[in-house]
Structure 1
Amino acid sequence: MIACLRLLSALCLAALLAACASSPSSSLGELPRTPDASIEQLLEQASTSKTPEKAALLRLSAADLAYRQKDNVRAARILEQVQLDTLKPAQQVYASTLAAELAITRNQPKAALSALSHPSLARLNEMPQDLQARTRSVRAAALEADGQTLAAAQERVALAPLLTGNAASANHEAIWNLVAALPTDQLQGAGAGNDVMAGWTSLALAVKSAGTLEQQQAAIETWRSQHADHPAAVQLPVPLIKLKELASQPLTKIALLLPQEGPLASVAKALRDGFMAAHFQAQQAGQKPPQVQVFDSSRLTSLDDFYRQAQAAGVQLVVGPLEKPLVKQLAARPQLPITTLALNYSDAGQNGPAQLFQFGLAAEDEAREVSRRARADGMRRAVALVPSGEWGDRVLKAFRQDWEANGGTLIAAEHVAQPVALAQQIADLFQLRQSEGRAKSLQSTVGGNVSAQPSRRQDIDFIFLAATPQQAQQIKPTLNFQYAGDVPVYATSNVYSASGDVNQYNDMNGIRFCETPWLLDSGNSLRQQVVQQWPQAAGSLGRLYAMGVDAYSLAPRLGQLKALPDNRVEGLSGSLSMNPNQRVERQLPWAEFAGGQVKRLPDTPR
């Protein structure tokens, strides 16, 4: 939203009131003039004006001046005094545009779009160019803020010919950011009937379809040769220029920094084996992968000493460390001497230096994935069951934030600790005791026995579950017993042991859960090679092998993902993308326990 406002302000400065003194035509009406008076003076003149039209023009000028002075409350109050239906078309467009701009400052994109739906906007193309630019700018910002990305891009393409200088450059970059954010299925055919828009979407498709930096460069150059006169061919968007710079700096040496001793040694071994398996596969495929030098973080005495040693060895990228205290130390530094992909996350809100990227199997990613999936399935009201303790608190917080930010309601949450309390906790969630109480009250009122089955509350669409397989084995039957067996359950990967235990899976029948591609899609050739050598990788430990493989895939593409945040790496631990804080986020496929088996579900739409 802040980015929208900044861009809108930049574009509006180029299109404000410089040419508004002229009247488009007698039928359209005169536009407000650039004021050389204060707001108070304009309002005073309006109050003594001889004609309603002159008074309205003066009030519009005063409202606009207040908006440009960032006194938005006063601007809105003045604008309310202007009767829109009494104005001529040009004045109506002007007033509607200002109303939309004010709505955007209040983070109300729908109100902005409503203001821009006034019938007078049908004559926008008859207005002076600066007013057209101003109106299209705010409409584009409102569409983007409302999630209508394709429509926002189309609006900015229509806006482009009206702009010059810095405003034109800002709009050019905004078009690329919008089309790059569109999923592939929306890009296909999105530019039909508009050659310029079609060029933008075909460029985005070309970049998304290519995998490596080298392939992306080739795709961009091919596109430029086929669209030589297109605005994006004349001036490549800045992220694509950055890609070109990255391609000229190939990665030749990586330091893999993992503990070989201590409590994390077994985790580190799985990560290292996955990482090196991907490295050897690249060699076998005839590629020229970077050299990998392994360092033992459990023997580390100083991060400064390590980086000096790595620099002396010609290392260009560090993968690791795994230990959270070390990652927090790195995140606290103003800068790092070598770009680093940490295999864990620092504390929330601790973003770190520009050279630090962070990747891990974060439970928060899975909580957000549950939110996305339930939303896509039409769910709106949730209850949550999470473990007691810090881990459960983090997962619940991530789910709640994403769920409520996207319009969902979390009705209640319970922290599961003792199995003996589980039945009572579920009964409380579904208000079963109130139902039983009503039945007993009815019995005492009418006398004798009354046949009344307890009923649960009916305003719960689904349950968000974060639990171990053992906990889930107790929870699902308890839900059935407590008359809530028909409520859908969406769970994180913690419920899946990958053990093949049919009895365990039967106890969790109907639970939907997100999981890594590694454990759901056994046909991957690299996975098969790893499992053949390390059979334990077929079980829950496989998630760590997958993370190691994906760390290797991410290593040469960190700059690419930073330059193109909407690009993804389709990995074995999930579909990977980079957020603005340079943390890798995962989106996961889905499965369901059904008849003692694990049934793969269609992926969540993006």
Structure 2
Amino acid sequence: MIACLRLFTALCLAALLAACASSPSSSLGELPRTPDASIEQLLEQATTSKTPEQAALLRLSAADLAYKQKDNARAARILEQVPLEQLKPAQQIFASTLAAELAMSRNQPKMALTALSHPSLARLNELPEDQQIRTRSVHAAVLEANGQPLAAAQERAQLTPLLKGDAANANNDAIWNLVAATPRDQLNNLSTGTDTMAGWASLALAVKGAGTVEQQQAAIDAWRAQHADHPAAAQLPPSLIKLMELTSQPLTKIALLLPQEGQLAGVARALRDGFMAAHFQAQQAGQKPPTIEVFDSSRLTSLDDFYRQAQASGVQLVVGPLEKPLVKKLAAYPQLPITTLALNYSDAGQKGPEQLYQFGLAAEDEAREVSRRARADGMVRAVALVPKGEWGDRVLKAFRQDWEANGGSLLAAQHIDQPVALAQQIAELFQLRQSEGRAKSLQSTVGGAVSAQPSRRQDIDFIFLAATPQQGQQIKPTLNFQYAGDVPVYATSHVYSASGDVNQYRDLTGVRFCDTPWLLDSGNPLRQQVERQWPQAAGSLGRLYAMGIDAFSLAPRLGQLRALPENRIDGLSGSLSMNENQRIERQLPWAEFTGGQIKRLPDTPR
């Protein structure tokens, strides 16, 4: 009786699978479908199947059912029993899709990308829509996780005609978030076409190219009129709806609060000149920028008195102060009478009033940028060289936190100080002294001279370097001398003097570093205009001119960045965004020293 029941069950399963299977064409093969059966029943039937194809279909169904029941480990074990290369294309696509989903559940995006690189994916468009949706959805997620946002957006654009209702809206929102985070130069290549992606690219460029919220609203309206048939014209992404709803009083007067005397006067002068250059450019472009009133923070006797005076003169936004003690005082206020963009940062963890925003050339941003870039390049194990002192401690802490939070390992760190100790410190980083000790021990054992070249540890993927150009000039040759010249070095901008010193650049050959767009993209028209009036802006001081220009760009858009934290401003000091503490953070472009010159590198994927 039991044998009869088993036979009946097997026949029912086979019939149900045949009824549920899809056969787009004989060359594609059938797609497995999960029947109304348990995993155990499917696997039992697979062991008694008459053909390998039928057994594979049953096992694929069992693996898929286990995945849907969130038993991912079992799903992976079952999938391993399916001979992928013996399947027909439809089944290969199904298996590759499931393998990618399982890899993503284990946080292994590179393995997922490998699974979706199978040649059978070329025939995805021949499969039923539900399978296309499933495969393209996981492919988009995999591409994004692997740092390919534009490719992920293009994959989602392929999904657009397959989706309806809430699913279509969610997909469009995801496309917008990916495209909005893409640098302008990459969007330019896409915006000239006529397909859906070209429309998304041109919308992003329209929003990025507008300077104020009002200009962005006008740009969106103009885009919708030109792209009436585009999905985003019918339903704007939520972030753009919020942008259109933002109502703010036009910004007509700014107080620029900077020291005109003291140690920071030179820094303040560069910031002021950059700020005013951006103001002049806005006037030349036919805009109506706010009027600027300059106040001397080095003569302040009371912040309260300053704000009363600024209010009385009609100031709507304060840009400054630069001095850290004054910024810390502002951060301690429960609220401020006027919205303020400070040009420095208060202490880490100090939460300021809601009217206070903070912007500066923080070395911590650059440490996080190094972490982001090294991670994108596939690095895992790092060592660090940073200066002794409070600044080096802060930079190392920022790097360590970001690096380890994202799965990296910091094996060791050295705080560099005197050049005479540098060789010893690098030797300790790379454990060369242990190697020399082993050679001496071997010599004493064999009782004679042993020809042995010291060998360094081999588990270091790269060096994180925060150092001056002069320190860098000593460090790179020392690495070569200590048998570590082939280890990649990723540095903050502090290693680059922008002096044009060919000999210095040669000593740094191979070092990769991040820096401001101002110094790495010399073709910017505003930079060229500023340098004609202030030649020193072509050197390292250019970072401050860039910051001043970006402060002017940020002034009317603080409310926008606060309301739309995923938005970015492509500035000259970096790609700017706002974190939850209303601090402006920068992402930076990259370059490499090579042959006495610097060579621009592709940007880090966002």
Output the TM-score relative to the length of structure 2: 0.71
Larger displacement relative to structure 2 (163-172 or 547-556)? 163-172
1:104-119 alignment to 2 at 5 Å? Answer: 104=104, 106-109=106-109
1:255 equivalent to 2:255? Answer yes
Q: Give yes or no for contact 2:147–2:376 (8 Å, CA) kept in 1.
A: no
Q: Could you tell me how far 1:58 is from its partner in structure 2?
A: 12
Gaps of 5+ in 1: 1-22, 36-41, 67-71
Q: Please name the residue that 2:6 is paired with.
A: none
Q: Please name the residue that 1:360 is paired with.
A: 360
Q: Give yes or no for contact 2:575–2:588 (8 Å, CA) kept in 1.
A: yes
**Distance in 2 (alpha carbons) for counterparts of 1:108 and 1:250:** 48
Kindly provide the amino acid, as one letter, of the partner of residue 525 in structure 1.
Q
CA 1:493 to 1:228, structure 2 compared with 1: closer, same or farther past 3 Å? closer
1:575 equivalent to 2:574? Answer yes
**Distance in 2 (alpha carbons) for counterparts of 1:471 and 1:215:** 46
Q: Give yes or no for contact 1:382–1:461 (8 Å, CA) kept in 2.
A: yes
Q: Could you tell me how far 1:315 is from its partner in structure 2?
A: 3.0
CA 1:144 to 1:330, structure 2 compared with 1: closer, same or farther past 3 Å? farther
Q: Please name the residue that 1:592 is paired with.
A: 593
Kindly provide the amino acid, as one letter, of the partner of residue 436 in structure 1.
E
CA 1:81 to 1:333, structure 2 compared with 1: closer, same or farther past 3 Å? farther
1:524 equivalent to 2:523? Answer no
CA 1:169 to 1:538, structure 2 compared with 1: closer, same or farther past 3 Å? closer
CA 1:205 to 1:257, structure 2 compared with 1: closer, same or farther past 3 Å? closer
Root-mean-square deviation (Å): 5.3
**Distance in 2 (alpha carbons) for counterparts of 1:79 and 1:503:** 56
Provide the secondary structure at the position in 1 that maps to 2:176.
helix
Q: CA deviation digits over 1:318-342, x for unaligned, max 9? A: 2223344554565577876644322
Q: Could you tell me how far 1:585 is from its partner in structure 2?
A: 0.4
Kindly provide the amino acid, as one letter, of the partner of residue 530 in structure 2.
L
**Distance in 1 (alpha carbons) for counterparts of 2:97 and 2:140:** 12
Q: Please name the residue that 2:549 is paired with.
A: 549
Q: Give yes or no for contact 1:93–1:124 (8 Å, CA) kept in 2.
A: no
Q: Give yes or no for contact 2:97–2:135 (8 Å, CA) kept in 1.
A: yes
Q: Please name the residue that 2:174 is paired with.
A: 174
Q: CA deviation digits over 1:382-404, x for unaligned, max 9? A: 43211123321222233345556
Larger displacement relative to structure 2 (162-171 or 346-355)? 346-355
CA 1:273 to 1:226, structure 2 compared with 1: closer, same or farther past 3 Å? closer
1:20-59 alignment to 2 at 5 Å? Answer: none
CA 1:201 to 1:410, structure 2 compared with 1: closer, same or farther past 3 Å? same
Larger displacement relative to structure 2 (457-466 or 375-384)? 375-384
Q: Could you tell me how far 1:362 is from its partner in structure 2?
A: 1.1
CA 1:102 to 1:382, structure 2 compared with 1: closer, same or farther past 3 Å? closer
**Distance in 2 (alpha carbons) for counterparts of 1:30 and 1:445:** 67
CA 1:395 to 1:94, structure 2 compared with 1: closer, same or farther past 3 Å? same
CA 1:442 to 1:187, structure 2 compared with 1: closer, same or farther past 3 Å? same
Q: CA deviation digits over 1:585-604, x for unaligned, max 9? A: 04145363866xxx232244
CA 1:247 to 1:503, structure 2 compared with 1: closer, same or farther past 3 Å? same
Q: CA deviation digits over 1:396-448, x for unaligned, max 9? A: 23334555677766443211134443221122123332343344344434555
Provide the secondary structure at the position in 2 that maps to 1:426.
helix
1:342-421 alignment to 2 at 5 Å? Answer: 342-348=342-348, 355-371=355-371, 382-401=382-401, 410-421=410-421
Q: Give yes or no for contact 1:359–1:585 (8 Å, CA) kept in 2.
A: no
Provide the secondary structure at the position in 2 that maps to 1:315.
coil
Q: Give yes or no for contact 2:498–2:539 (8 Å, CA) kept in 1.
A: yes
CA 1:488 to 1:341, structure 2 compared with 1: closer, same or farther past 3 Å? same
**Distance in 1 (alpha carbons) for counterparts of 2:115 and 2:502:** 59
1:112-131 alignment to 2 at 5 Å? Answer: none
Q: Give yes or no for contact 1:59–1:79 (8 Å, CA) kept in 2.
A: no
**Distance in 2 (alpha carbons) for counterparts of 1:92 and 1:451:** 55
Q: Please name the residue that 2:468 is paired with.
A: 468
CA 1:529 to 1:176, structure 2 compared with 1: closer, same or farther past 3 Å? same
Q: Give yes or no for contact 1:590–1:600 (8 Å, CA) kept in 2.
A: yes
Q: Give yes or no for contact 2:579–2:585 (8 Å, CA) kept in 1.
A: no
**Distance in 1 (alpha carbons) for counterparts of 2:272 and 2:108:** 49
**Distance in 2 (alpha carbons) for counterparts of 1:480 and 1:115:** 39
Q: Could you tell me how far 1:545 is from its partner in structure 2?
A: 3.6
Q: Could you tell me how far 1:570 is from its partner in structure 2?
A: 3.8
Q: Give yes or no for contact 2:331–2:356 (8 Å, CA) kept in 1.
A: yes
1:229 equivalent to 2:233? Answer no
**Distance in 2 (alpha carbons) for counterparts of 1:195 and 1:167:** 20
Q: Could you tell me how far 1:578 is from its partner in structure 2?
A: 0.9
Q: Please name the residue that 1:440 is paired with.
A: 440
Q: Please name the residue that 1:492 is paired with.
A: 492
**Distance in 2 (alpha carbons) for counterparts of 1:192 and 1:283:** 29
Provide the secondary structure at the position in 2 that maps to 1:357.
strand
**Distance in 2 (alpha carbons) for counterparts of 1:96 and 1:507:** 48
Q: CA deviation digits over 1:25-73, x for unaligned, max 9? A: 78779966999xxxxxx99999999x999x999989996886xxxxx5x
Q: Give yes or no for contact 1:34–1:61 (8 Å, CA) kept in 2.
A: no
Q: Give yes or no for contact 1:518–1:527 (8 Å, CA) kept in 2.
A: no
CA 1:340 to 1:296, structure 2 compared with 1: closer, same or farther past 3 Å? same
**Distance in 2 (alpha carbons) for counterparts of 1:44 and 1:445:** 63
Q: CA deviation digits over 1:486-532, x for unaligned, max 9? A: 6554433334456777887776676554444556649722133134x
Q: CA deviation digits over 1:69-121, x for unaligned, max 9? A: xxx5x676589789996999999999998886676555444566678899899
Provide the secondary structure at the position in 1 that maps to 2:534.
helix
CA 1:555 to 1:31, structure 2 compared with 1: closer, same or farther past 3 Å? same
Q: CA deviation digits over 1:131-174, x for unaligned, max 9? A: 87566545543443343434433443344455554443322211
Provide the secondary structure at the position in 1 that maps to 2:177.
helix
Q: Give yes or no for contact 2:570–2:576 (8 Å, CA) kept in 1.
A: yes
Kindly provide the amino acid, as one letter, of the partner of residue 586 in structure 2.
E
Kindly provide the amino acid, as one letter, of the partner of residue 290 in structure 1.
P
Kindly provide the amino acid, as one letter, of the partner of residue 237 in structure 1.
P
1:57-68 alignment to 2 at 5 Å? Answer: none
Q: Give yes or no for contact 1:357–1:584 (8 Å, CA) kept in 2.
A: no
Q: Could you tell me how far 1:353 is from its partner in structure 2?
A: 6.2
